[in-house]
Homo-oligomer: A and B are copies of this chain.
Amino acid sequence: MSDLLERLRTRGWRLTSQRRVVAEVLDGEHVHLTADEVHARAVERLPEISRATVYNTLGELVGLGEVLEVATDGRAKRYDPNAHHAHQHLVCSGCGAIRDVHPQGDPLAALPATERFGFVISGAEITYRGLCPDCARP
């Protein structure tokens, strides 16, 4: 993810230690962390980093299209560092775990013009729901 830091610098980002740490945390864990989980891991490397900075930085990364925001359960948003790779999500209804999945076909094709109501559609997100192997066990 040093690419990421490079890309950001060429876009006028000031490269601070806090931002570097947030980027490293997102890079290190290819899971979908909540903002507070990102903060907790960031604190391990930079003890005085504040929650506000983590929120700010995540918001900026989302705005720049480097990270995706995933709202699966109406609770904490999760952040997906895999933004440059089209994919959808599989969410466990038991424990909340999220996996990336790659369904076949283009979901936009399933929506005929008569069902678009004049919207300019930019994308589609699919959330598959179910129980993960652990939670499905009796």
Contacts of A92 in B (CB 8 A): 119
From B73, B101, B115, B122, A111 is in contact (CB under 8 Å) with B101
Contact B73 A99, beta carbon cutoff 8 Å: no
- Using known A-B contacts A69-B74, A128-B123, determine if residue A104 contacts B93 with beta carbons closer than 8 Å: no
In the complex, what residues of B have CB within 8 A of residue A107's CB?
Answer: 103, 107, 110, 126, 128
The distance in angstroms between the C-alpha atoms of A48 and B77, with both chains bound, is 33
In the complex, A129→B111 CA distance in Å?
12
**A71 proximity list for chain B (CB < 8 A):** 71-74
A7: min CB distance to chain B, Å: 23
Judge if A85 is at the interface, Cβ distance under 8 Å: no
Within 8 A of B (CB), among A114-138: 115-133, 136
Is A28 positioned at the interface, with any CB of B under 8 Å from its CB? no
Which residues of chain B have C-beta atoms less than 8 A from A77's C-beta? Answer: 74
If the complex has contacts A103-B107, A103-B110, A107-B103, are A131 and B120 also in contact, measured as CB distance less than 8 A? yes
B130 touches A121 (CB 8 A): yes
- Among A93, A104, A119, residue most surrounded by chain B Cβ atoms (within 10 Å): A119
Q: Could you tell me which A residues sit within 8 Å of B by CB distance?
A: 69, 71-74, 76-77, 90, 92-93, 99, 101-105, 107-108, 110-112, 115-133, 136
